[in-house]
Amino acid sequence: MQKNSLHFLLLIMISIVFTQCSDDLYQTKTDTKGSTIYVGKGNEQVFFDHDDLYWFRSGFDDYKPNADTIEDLKKWKNDIYFIAFAGTWCDDTKELLPKFYKMATDAGFTRKEVTLYLVDRDKKSADGTAQLLHVDKVPTILVFRSGRLIGRIEETTTKPIEQEVLDLVKTNW
């Protein structure tokens, strides 16, 4: 069991290092419904670079995270890392991902602390990371604290995203 945990942690750390060193690469695909979807790894800049992803910009600009919760999250900033999996075709992604990025931005998380994978309709990433981490819902946001996976936020939340993240950080140590 410990050997498997060590291998998993090593894989995650390698993924983080390569993500931080690599260029952001996205491809567009036309799905069976005739829609353009984006697939690749990088950061939120893809949403600002493409007019057809307007839903992200408006959701980001409109969301107002709780200021007290954001202040609490700032205390944990140096210990937290995120890997987010999302689908540009997915209604849950369109609802939650802009709020997540607004929370992360307001709390001072940088692109080094948030890695984004855009997946296809089968929820697969080109490099296999989504499959390795058993992503079967989007969005899925993996929350790491001090290098350890402490929780997953999948599809929707029952509380504001900033509170969901703070709850994970405070209760899973």
Give tens-digit pLDDT for 55-70.
999 999 999 999 999 9
At the top level of CATH, the class of 2-171 is alpha beta
- Give the angle 151-16-164 at the CA atoms, nearest 5°: 25
3-state class (DSSP) for residue 79:
helix
Domain range annotation of the chain:
2-171
**Residue 159 has which token pair?**
């509380």
Are the beta carbons of 67 and 109 closer than 8 angstroms? no
Beta-carbon contacts of residue 101 (< 8 Å; ≥ 6 apart)? 44, 56, 60, 114
Least confident among 12-16, 105-109, 161-165, 166-170? 12-16
What integer pLDDT is reported at residue 59 of this predicted model? 97
Q: At residue 37, does pLDDT exceed 80? A: yes
Tally the C-alpha atoms within 13 A of residue 60's C-alpha that lie toward its C-beta.
Answer: 16
- The per-residue pLDDT for 34 is 80
Given this model, what pLDDT does residue 31 score? 77
pLDDT beyond 80 at 52: yes
pTM for this prediction: 0.84
The pLDDT of residue 96: 98
Inter-axis angle of helices 54-62 and 91-106, nearest 10: 50
Give the pLDDT mean for 125-130: 91
Cα–Cα distance, 83 to 130 (Å, whole number): 10
Q: Is 117 left (phi over 0), alpha (psi -120 to 50) or beta?
A: beta
